[in-house]
Amino acid sequence: MESGRPEEALKQYRVAEQLDPSSAVVQHHLGHPYFVKRQFEQALHYYQTSLDMESRQAKAHYCKGRVFEEMGKFEEAIEEFQSQEQAAEQFTDDRKLFFGKLRDAVRQNGGEGYWRKRLDLALKESHQQPYEIATLYARLGDKQNAYAWLKKACAQKAFTEGLLFDLCWDHNDEQFKAIARGIGLLQ
């Protein structure tokens, strides 16, 4: 999955499902290939099935949030990210304020406002996440800053997900290809 081969990953996840059909984790993972292939309804189906089997899965809420972002359903995305933190027992007053700021940004400026507010808040963090910042610049169409932060993330090996899992990157862009090859992907 993390190396950009969702069809192969799906085959393996199907084997895992046959071995353990009652596994919420397997159901969750079945959503990933569909997410990468931009088959969002199918991805949501598996993430929700996973949550129906085990409601305390913070990661499944996170994945649903990612799908909603890709679909441009930012209010729903915020709800899922908040549910993720509640499930992980990490929802604090500061995080409530964070999500409130995102909601305000969406109401005022739609998707553009959402991504700008996310970037603004990420840049103000005391412990910045270079890869997250790179993806936010990419979503805003600022390739120069996106690739500068992506190179920084690569140097620090600071990835939260696989580079080929995030849908904000243009896999046909030569600069992207060079960076991906530099970390052992896209051989």
Residue type, 109: N
Q: Where in the chain is the domain with CATH 1.25.40.10?
A: 1-91
Identify the pLDDT of residue 79: 97
As a whole number of Å, the end-to-end CA separation of the chain is: 15
Q: Do 147 and 175 form a contact (C-beta atoms < 8 A)? A: yes
Helix residue ranges per DSSP H, the chain: 6-19, 24-36, 40-53, 58-70, 74-87, 93-124, 130-139, 143-156, 174-182
User: What dotted CATH number matches 1-91?
Assistant: 1.25.40.10
Residue for token pair 């920084």: 152
What is the band of 4 on the pLDDT scale with cuts at 50, 70, 90?
A: confident
Q: What is the pLDDT of residues 174-186, one digit of tens each?
A: 999 999 888 888 7
pTM comes to 0.92
Identify the pLDDT of residue 161: 65
Identify the pLDDT of residue 160: 61
Q: Do 32 and 1 form a contact (C-beta atoms < 8 A)? A: yes
Q: Which residues, 6 or more positions from 116, have their beta carbon under 8 angstroms from its beta carbon?
A: 105, 109, 140
CA nearest to 111, candidates 138, 149, 74, 66? 74
Neighbours of 51 (CB within 10 A): 21
Q: What is the pLDDT of residues 134-178, one digit of tens each?
A: 999 999 999 999 999 999 999 988 876 678 889 999 999 999 999
Identify the pLDDT of residue 131: 95
Q: How many C-alpha atoms does 129 have within 13 Å on its Cβ side?
A: 12
Identify the pLDDT of residue 111: 97
Identify the pLDDT of residue 187: 66
Identify the pLDDT of residue 60: 95
Q: What is the pLDDT of residues 99-112, one digit of tens each?
A: 999 999 999 999 99
Q: What is the pLDDT of residues 29-85, one digit of tens each?
A: 999 999 999 999 999 999 999 999 998 889 999 999 999 999 999 999 999 999 999
